[in-house]
A and B are shown apart, each in its own frame.
Chain A
Amino acid sequence: MKLNIIQQRGLWWGISTMLVLISLVAMAISWQQFGAPLRPGLDFAGGTRLQLTRACVATDSCTVGLDVSEVRQVLAQQGLDSSSIQVLGDDQQVLSIRTRNLDVEERTTLQSALDEAIGPFDPGSTQIDSVGPVIGRQLLVSGLLALLVSFAGIVAYLSLRFKLDYALLAILALAHDVIVTAGVFAILGLGLGIEVDSLFIVSLLTIVGFSVNDTVVIYDRVRENLKLNPGSHINDVVDSAVNQTLSRSINTSLTTILPLVAIFIFGGQTLKYFALALIVGFLAGSYSSIFVASSLLALWRERTGQAYSGDPDEATPQSEPQSEPQS
C-alpha cells in the first residue's frame, strides 16, 4: 500500500475541514439548547442521580419492567416533575433518576416513597451521585486547566526536541482531534441525550497524549529522512516518511483500539462512553497524523522557502551505533 499524501492533500484537508465544521455546528446547536457546547452531565451541571435496582427476591415481582409513568407520578408528588427518568438493564429493572441537587432529607424521602410505590429496591445495588453546583464548576475548571496545561507542555517539549513549527502544527492536528471528538459527542447529546462527565475530559487528554504520539512518530521520520537525503524536496520526504510509518500507525491504532472495543462492549455503564470517546478520538488522531499533520508540514516548509532542507540544525546527524555503517 502506498499513499500519495501530498498529491491528494486537497481531499484530506477537505474531509478534515468538513468534519470540523460539522462538529462546530453541532456544538453551536447544542449551545443554543443547553447553554453549553456539549450536553453537560451531572459532574458539571450539578444535581442528584439515583440509580436503584429492584430487589428480585420474590420472582413474580420482576416479571414486568419498571414503568416510567408510575415513577413520574411518585416524583410529581415530591415536586420533582422536571426530573429525567430512565429505565436501564436487560430486564428493565434498573431505575435511573436525575433531579436537581437534593439534600439528604429530600433524598431519603424520595427513596422511601419510591421503595413503597414501586420497590422494594436492593440497597446493595444502589448508586447515589450528588454533586453541588460549586463542585461541578470546580471539576469543569480543573479539567479545562489540565487540557490547556498539557497542550502547553507538549508544545514546549516538542519545540525542544524538534522545532517550534513542528510543535505548532502538531497542536493544530490535536485541536482537530479534540474538536471532532467533542463534535461527535455534541451530536450524540442532541440525538441520544448522551451527557459528558469528568471522564470525558479525561478521554480528551488521553486522546491528546495518544494522537501527539502518532504525529511525533511521523515527524521523527521526516526529520530523519531530511538528514539522510538533504537534497530532496520536502514533499517527497514527507510522502516517504508517512509510507514508511504507515503499517506501524495502523497496527498501533489496532492494538490500542481492540481493548477499547472490548470495554465498550463488555465494560460497565460508566466506562461505555469513555471507551467510545477514546475510540473516536484515536481514529481522528490517526487520521490527522497521517493525512493532515504531515501535509501541513510540507505546505508550511514550502511556503516559508524551506522546501529543500538547508538548515544546519536539521542536518545535525544523530550518532549511529558503532557497528552500523551509514546507509
Chain B
Amino acid sequence: MAKYRAWLGVILALTIAAVVVITQLPTRLGLDLRGGSQLTIQVQPTEAIPTVTEREMEAVQTVVEGRVNGLGVSEAVVQQLGNNQLLVQLPGVSDPQQAERVLGGTAQLEFRAQRAGTDQQLQIENQILQGHLGELAALQAALPPNGAITSETQARIDRLQADIANSEAAIVALFEPSTLGGDALTDAIARPTSGTLWEVVIQFNNEGGNEFAEISRAIAGTGRTIGIFLDNRLLSAPTVNVQYAETGITGGSAVISGNFTAESARDLEIQLRGGALPLPVEVVENRTVGPTLGRDSIQRSLYAGLAGLVLVLVFMAVYYRLPGILADIALIVYALLTWAAFNLLGVTLTLPGIAGFILSIGMAVDANVLIFERTREELRSDKTLYRSVESGFFRAFSSILDGNVTTLISCLALFYFGAGLVKGFALTLGIGVLISMFTALTCTRTLMFLAISLPQFRRPSLFCPGLNPVRPNPVRP
C-alpha cells in the first residue's frame, strides 16, 4: 500500500500545482471569444516576380508588422502562413474596416529631399516622436497579458497614438515630395564594414539612379538629409557628403553608413526591400467577432460544459457506485490538470477548443468505464475483490491504449493540416486524451486500491450491485 500512498502524494501535489497554475497564469482566449479581427493576407506574385520566395515574404512581413504597429493594437500577432500568406491577429480591434484598409495597401517607399532650413525642427520633432514611441512601448509592455485594459490606460494609449501620428505628419512636412519610390529600388543589402560597424547598400534601376543623383546633388554638403519614408514613416535620414555636390551620387547605387549595428542594418535592409517590393498584398480572409458577441458565446459554452460535466458525474456515481465516485474525483483532477496544461503551454482557447475540451471529458470517462466493466465481470466470475480490480486495470489497458492512440492519430492529422480554429480543437482534444490516459491509469487506480485497503469499503456490492456473493458456481456469460 506504500506504493499507492506515494502515488496519492504525487496526485495531490499535481492537483495543487494545477490549481496554482490556473489561478496564477491567465487562460489565453482566442479572438472568437474575446473579440477581435483575424486577417489572412495573401502576397500576389506579379509578372516581374512570378514566384514569392522566403526573402520577399520576410520583407512583406516587416512592412505588415510596421502597419500593424501603426494601428496601435496591443498584443497583435503577425505570422507567416504557408509560403505566400500572412496571418494577422488583432485582438479587440475597434475598427476592422480601417485595419483591413491599412493592411491591404501596397507599401509606399519614398526618397525625399529635406527642405532648406528645417534642420533643427527635424531634430526636435524626431526627439518628440522617439519620446512618444518609448512611452507607448513601455506602456504596452506593462499591460497584463490577458488584455484586460482599463479605460484609463486605453485613453492614454489612444492619446499617444494620436501624438505619434501628429509627429509623423510634422516630419513628413519637412521634406519635399518626390517621385522616387520603391519601384525604382532594385535591392538593399546590409553588409559589415570595418570592425563591428555595418552599412546598407541600396541599388536603383537606371531611371531611379538618375533621379537619386539629382536629389543627392541638391542636398550634398548642406547638412540636410534624404528622408527615406515607408508608408509615410521616416525610416532613415542620411546626409550626403560635400564631395557629391557636383554630380550627386551617380551610378545607381549608394551606401548608407552610420552607427549601424548588425541588427539595425538588417532591419533597415528588410524595411527597404519591403518598400521596394512591387508585390501587391490582398486581404483574402477576414474573421471579425465583436467583443460582446464573444463574451456571449463563451458564457453559453461554459454553461454547456458544466451541464455536461455534471450529468456525466451523476451518471458515473449512480451507475458504478463507489468506483464511480472515485472516477468522478479522477475526472475533476483530470479537468484541473488539463486546464492547467492549457495555461502552461499557452494554448489559445477558441470556441471549438472549448468543444474539444468538453468532448474530452466525455471521452476521459471511457477509460474508467472499460476498467469498471472489466472489474464487474471478474467479480461475477467469483474472483476476489483485489484480483478483480487488478485484472480490471490490466485487461482494459490494451483497449484504452488502442482507442486513445487512434484518436491521437486523428488529432495529429487535424493539427498538421488544419488551420486556425481547427488546430485549436485538435490541440485541446489531443492534450485532453493524453492527460485522460494518465489520470485513468494512475489516479483512478490509486484511489481504487487505497479504497479496497480499507475494510469498510471492501464489500463487493459497492462495486457491483446485484452480485450474489453466495452463488456457488458462477458461469461466464
Contacts and interface: CB of A to CB of B under 8 A. Distances in A.
A255 B409 contact: no
A240 B290 contact: no
Nearest to A148: B413
B97 interface: yes
B195 interface: no
Contact of B409 (A128, A157, A201, A320): A157
Contacts of A134: 42, 284
A208 B344 CA distance: 29
Interface stretch (A7-15, A29-37, A73-81, A266-274): A266-274
B34 to A, nearest CB: 12
B231 interface: no
Interface in B311-328: 311-312, 315-316, 319
Nearest to B296: A268
A213 B406 contact: yes
Given A104-B97, A202-B422, A122 B292 contact: yes
Interface string B83-94: 000000000001
Contact of B394 (A125, A128, A263, A321): A321
Interface string B369-406: 11001000100010000010011001100110011111
B345 to A, nearest CB: 20
A104 B102 CA distance: 11
B304 A267 contact: yes
B369 A251 contact: yes
B359 A260 contact: yes
Given A153-B412, A206-B359, A270 B297 contact: yes
B300 interface: yes
A147 B414 CA distance: 8
B460 interface: no
A164 interface: no
A185 interface: no
Nearest to B363: A256
Interface stretch (A63-71, A186-194, A241-249, A294-302): A241-249
A216 B406 contact: yes
Interface string A124-153: 111111111011001100110111011001
Contacts of A111: 97
B285 interface: yes
The interface centre, meaning the residue of A124, A131, A255 with most chain B CB atoms within 10 A of its CB, is: A255
B393 to A, nearest CB: 9
B116 interface: no
A313 interface: no
Interface centre among B297, B311, B403 (most CB of A within 10 A): B403
Given A268-B301, A321-B394, A324-B387, A255 B369 contact: yes
A268 B351 CA distance: 9
B293 A126 contact: yes
Interface string A257-282: 11111110111111100110010000
B300 A268 contact: yes
Contact of A143 (B37, B395, B405, B418): B418
B339 interface: no
Range of interface residues on A (Cβ < 8 Å): 35 or more
B40 A125 contact: no
B353 to A, nearest CB: 11
B321 to A, nearest CB: 13
Interface in B412-433: 412-414, 416-419, 421-422, 425-426, 429
Interface of A: 2, 51, 53, 104, 107-108, 111, 122-132, 134-135, 138-139, 142-143, 145-147, 149-150, 153-154, 157-158, 161, 198-199, 201-202, 205-206, 208-210, 212-214, 216-217, 220-221, 224, 240, 243-245, 247-248, 251-252, 254-263, 265-271, 274-275, 278, 318, 320-321, 323-324, 327
Given A252-B366, A320-B394, 20 more contacts: A126-B293, A131-B284, A135-B40, A138-B82, A143-B422, A157-B405, A209-B406, A209-B409, A213-B366, A248-B369, A254-B315, A256-B366, A258-B315, A259-B304, A259-B359, A260-B359, A262-B304, A271-B304, A318-B398, A321-B390
25 contacts: A104-B97, A122-B290, A122-B292, A124-B291, A128-B96, A128-B286, A143-B422, A146-B414, A146-B418, A150-B409, A153-B413, A202-B414, A209-B407, A217-B402, A217-B403, A220-B399, A245-B373, A251-B315, A255-B365, A259-B361, A262-B308, A262-B358, A263-B308, A270-B32, A327-B381
Report, nearest first, the 8 A-B pairs whose CB atoms are least far apart: A259-B308, A213-B403, A132-B284, A256-B362, A268-B297, A209-B410, A124-B292, A209-B407
